[in-house]
Structure 1
Amino acid sequence: MDGRGRWMDNVFIERLRRSLKHEDIYLRGYADGREAKAGVASWIAFYNDRRLHQAHGYRTPMPIWRERMHADKAVDMVDNADALTTCPQQQQQTESLAA
């Protein structure tokens, strides 16, 4: 999460929200806020500790996070984040100039 204008940051959060809504909220139909808060907390624990992720080679996120924390390697979903532009228009302009 590199701050304002970093369009790639929002992609991961929106994907997480989509999974949360479709895998938990829409299926359970919580009666009130207290029930929803407990249910969402439970789903997030499931998501991090037990749900397998294709992007991680069918592993859960927590072991990967722990490995990288102990290896002093940055924990980032995008390994080449520094190479990405801050807005897609700049990338499109660069590509059109190169062509």
Structure 2
Amino acid sequence: MSRAQRLAMIVPPSPATPSQRRQCQLLVIGRSSLHYQQREWLTEDLVLMRLIDEHHLLTPVYGSLRITVHLNRLGHRVNRKQVRRLMR
């Protein structure tokens, strides 16, 4: 049985059903999986990642700091932390 199928089997707790904690134990699923929502990529992030990829192909020795400077010169207001996250 796949993980998605096991997650679909978990129901809200009621007097007739075991707690969500117990259901997760029985189905061998981490409880944090119940609350996890996959992050949607923003279109701005996708544009920045495309620009980073293009610039990285031209100058592969540039790190996040130099690419941040390059993106700022192009008019995109980004900081180094954001560029490092997108480069990962």
Same topology, TM > 0.5: no
> Whose helix fraction is larger, Structure 1's or Structure 2's?
1
TM-score (norm 1): 0.26
TM-score (norm 2): 0.28
Question: Which structure has the larger Rg?
Answer: 2
Asked which structure has the greater RCO (Cα within 8 Å, sep 6+), the reply is 1
